[in-house]
Amino acid sequence: MSTQAPASPPSAGGGLPPDGGVPLIYRRGFRRLVQQGIYVAVTALVAWYVYDSLNLREFGFGFLDDPAAFKVGNQWLTDVDGVTSSRIEMYLVGVWSTLRVVFVAILLSTLVGVIVGVSRLSSNWLVARLAMLYVEIFRNTPLLVQVVLVYAIFLVGAPIIQEVLNIGDFAFVSNRGVAIPWPVPDGGWWGAPDWFVGVWVALLIAFGAFAMSVRAKRQDRERETGQPQFANRWAFGIFAVAALVTFVALGLPVSIDRPFVEGTRYLEGMVIRPEFAALTIGLTLYTGAFNAEIVRGSIQALPRGQSEAANAIGLSGYQRLTLVILPQALRQMIPSITNQYLNVNKNSSLAYAVLYDDLFRVAGIIQNKAGHALEMFFVIIVTYMLISLVISIVMNFINSRVTRVGV
Amino acid sequence: MSELPPIPPPEQRPLPPVPGAAGQRRIVLPPHRQRARRPRSVRAREWVRKNLFNSPGGTLLTIVAGAIMAAIVFGLIVFVFFSANWEVITHNRWLLFAGGFPHEEAWRLWVSIAVVFALIGAAYGTWSSFGRRDHLFVLLVGGFVIFLMAHGGAAIWSTIYFLIAIGCMYLGYALTIWMPRETSTLRTVQQRIVGGLLAISLPIVLVILLVGGEVGPRHLDGFVLNLILAPVGIVGGIVIGIPLALGRASRLRTISLTCTAYIEIVRGAPLLGWLFVALFILDDIIGGDLIIRAMVVMAVFTGAYMAEYIRGALQALPRGQYEAAQAVGLNQTQSTRLIIMPQALRISIPPMVGQAISIWKDTTLVTVILPLRELKGNADSAIAQFEFTPDRIEAYVFVAVIFWIVAFAMSRISQRVERAQGIGER
């Protein structure tokens, strides 16, 4: 390449020397162009090879509308039989199952994480050791093994349904799962339809918002005047009274449904199946160990002066933790905790190992029946990404609330 | 996926210095303020009061925690020594360890183990040293393994081979620990040799295991499969991750866009999803043995995570490093190779070890949807035998313990490396 570069006008507003005189191959723009050209060519070649080797003649998502012809278990609030419903409906039932597991596991693992993380820093030697033991055990063993172990303990340890463990006619434990009482909509005094409970829930939300506004107002006043205004007690009181009054006024629209055993089946109430329990407990214990380390790390990252200052103004240990330490540590821990939540979402696919019909397993069944692995994988990854996106958005919102500077 | 900065797993973050830890100078009081050391019994009583019964609440906590601890210990003792039927393990030793690996080729396994052990010993001898805890760890783990092999139909030869492997570790240690530690040509040569051998240990082991004879990748089974899959995933992940990280940080739009897309897409789906790809889709693209495809997926998957950690390290490097490299006249390649990458890799060791432990645990996932049987899968096979069906818990507890031992060792070794490298210190 010995071609003399054509003289180009000097660049308008830069400290770079004009291009004139520099051979083409030494020019930055040209080099970038060539580099990217080569890169694009190689990538395109690989992509074409992949495209070519995949058999895409039958690519399409039409098969999802066909009748499913299989059953999914562990349904809640849905009742899809698999005969009349299409595959995509079954898949959505699976998504709903995943969401339940993820939601419960996120809540519980956060709780476990905070408790254990704080315990690890306890001045009580035994408590700190116990917390460390928990973290070291559950962080260093595979989640899969934890899940199947919980499942095995449930199957082997719990009694069979004929010898069901009856806890005061209130809850039942057997290897078919745990049955507990559960609130259900009820006609109440006026025999209203089921949707009537929605009115009560709406009223609850309205009064909840009102109670929160009262709380905020009282907190402001406390800050201005220095007089104690008991904001939390007021808010809780308003909400409790309102909930009770509306509950009675609407004629008791909710009743508690107690479970009972008939033959080899649970009827009524809420049944927590062993698969759901194993997966949720496994995810909770595993993620809880990581969350505990995050909580501990964030607390330790705070300057020592914070807890010393809290001691100096005479706060009790509990006050020090909830008013001074945790609110500040929260800012530090939210990004890491978010990562753990995203992991919970992805790890929920381990449902496959205990035959819990989450989205991944349902997708696997559909693929087994209909083929179309590529399409199914596409559906799976998009679903997981969407759930991750929702988690990220929620956590970013919480993060922006928490990190907002202000009193 | 939203773009979150990669966060090192908390266990890898440097902990704040412990007061009284080694390296801190002890304060010596002037003679008139020195007091006689109080007797041990007084100090012990004081320790107990301060750490267990410092307040009514603290006492209550101690009692509750003590009760929980006692219940756990009691339950464990009852389970391990009385109620559990460990025959499911001892009867299926070979199944759990190597599964379908042919018996007549077992020497390959032992030679590989000896080689790896010797290298570990040499690495310790070169850069660190065995402390009392390390000896204790070796003793405990070795005792555990030998107990397994001696229990219920003793496997005498395997025991001897295992002891020889442990001997190899101490031999490698002994050969290297006596070398002078001061900077010298000899020291450099020693470091180069040991480091080089460590770097190519995975290919060496693969050659010993698979070249010649009747064995092929499909014979990798049981715990051996875990032990092969994890390093392949880790090494492959780093090899893929470095260019990906550089690509994502690149100024060239096409490169950074495609690398970002790769990383985010791979991180968007769970590993099980990618193993699904290995089973059903990769067959058409690269073909080959299922184990090979699983290895490729492990490497590709880990690569995306490693890339994120390395990118985080690249961003954490002070700008001055890039500018200084330019100022001394290094070109792009040279500055990346000589200035940027060594520092970035050093910074990213802690999160990468976290990822390595994670991959180690995730090797169990190949059992879930692939017809491959690693340790957990073979435990499933063990409890599928008629006489062992009630022993599910024992089998899974054993699997958990094995995974725990290796993961724990990995985290401890990484702590050693971090301390030796001074990572997290200024």
Q: How many CB atoms lie within 10 A of CB B142?
A: 15
A144 close to A279: Cβ distance less than 8 angstroms: no
CB proximity list for A334: less than 8 A, separation 6 or greater: A395, A398, A399, A402, A403
**HEC sequence for B193-253:** HHHHHHHCHHHHHHHHHHCCCCCCHHHCCHHHHHHHHHHHHHHHHHHHHHHHHHHHCCCCH
Nearest residue, CB atoms, B7 vs list A127, A148, A339: A339
**Each residue's pLDDT tens digit, B302-323:** 999 999 999 999 998 888 998 9
Q: Write the single-letter amino acid at A334.
A: I
Residue of A nearest to B275 (CA): A377
With contacts defined as CB-CB under 8 Å, which chain B residues touch A55? 284
**B370 min Cα distance to partner chain A (Å):** 12
> What is the pLDDT, as a whole number, of residue B350?
87
Residue with tokens 């030494």: A26
Taking alpha carbons only, the member of A163, A141, A173 closest to residue A259 is: A173
Kindly report the backbone phi and psi dihedral angles of residue A177, in degrees, each rounded to the nearest multiple of 5, phi listed first.
130, 180
Best of A141, A337, A342 to mutate (most B CBs within 10 Å, chain B): A141
Residue labelled with tokens 């007690």:
A233
DSSP letter at A170 equals T
pLDDT grade, residue B21 (50/70/90)? Answer: very low
The answer to whether A270 and A259 have CB atoms below 8 angstroms apart is yes
Label residue B165 by pLDDT band (50, 70, 90).
very high
Q: How far is A138 from chain B, CA to nearest CA, in Å?
A: 9
State how far the Cα of B412 lies from the Cα of B405, in Å rounded to an integer.
11
List, in sequence order, every residue forming a beta bridge with A172; answer none if it has no partner. Answer: A166, A179
Smallest CA–CA distance, residue A130 to chain B, in Å, is 7
Per-residue pLDDT tens digits for B190-248: 989 999 999 899 999 999 998 888 888 888 889 999 999 999 999 999 999 999 999 99
- The amino acid that residue A125 corresponds to is W
Mean pLDDT of chain B: 87
Chain B residue numbers touching A57 (CB-CB < 8 A): none
Rounded to 5°, angle at Cα B303 from B302 and B306:
85
pTM of the model: 0.87
Cα–Cα dist A246/B101, whole Å: 70
Chain B: give the shortest CA distance to residue A202, in Å: 33
Closest by Cβ to B407, choosing from A43, A140, A152? A140
Among the listed residues B324, B251, B247, B337, the one whose alpha carbon sits nearest the alpha carbon of residue A29: B251
Per-residue tens of pLDDT for chain A, all 407 residues: 344 444 444 444 445 555 567 788 888 888 888 988 999 999 999 999 998 888 787 888 988 988 888 888 888 888 888 788 899 999 999 999 999 999 999 999 999 999 999 999 988 899 999 999 999 999 999 999 999 999 999 988 888 888 888 888 888 998 888 899 888 887 777 777 777 788 888 999 999 999 999 999 998 898 888 888 888 899 999 999 999 998 888 888 788 888 888 888 888 888 899 999 999 999 999 999 999 999 999 999 999 899 899 999 999 888 899 889 998 899 889 999 999 999 999 999 999 999 999 999 999 999 998 888 999 999 999 999 999 999 999 999 999 888 776 54
How many Å apart are CA A71 and CA B39, to the nearest integer? 72
Range 277-296 of A in CB contact (< 8 A) with B: 290, 293-294, 296
In a 13 Å sphere around the CA of B239, the CA atoms on its Cβ side amount to 11
Q: Among partner residues A126, A352, A373, which is closest to B281 by beta-carbon distance?
A: A373
Chain-centroid distance of CA B96 in Å reads: 20
| pLDDT at B5 (0 to 100) | 54
Distances (CA, A) of A90 to A76, A95, A366: 13, 9, 9
Helix A125-139 × helix A87-120 angle, to 10°: 150
Q: Choose from B368, B381, B415 for mutation: most chain A CBs within 10 A.
A: B368
- The reply to whether CATH 1.10.3720.10 applies to domain A61-143+274-407 is yes
pLDDT for position A199: 85
Nearest Cα to Cα of residue B87 among B396, B377, B395, B405: B395
CA distances, B424 to each of A295, B8, B415, B418 (Å) = 19, 12, 11, 8
pLDDT tops 80 at residue B9 = no
Answer whether B7 touches A (CB < 8 Å): yes
CA B225 to chain centre: 15
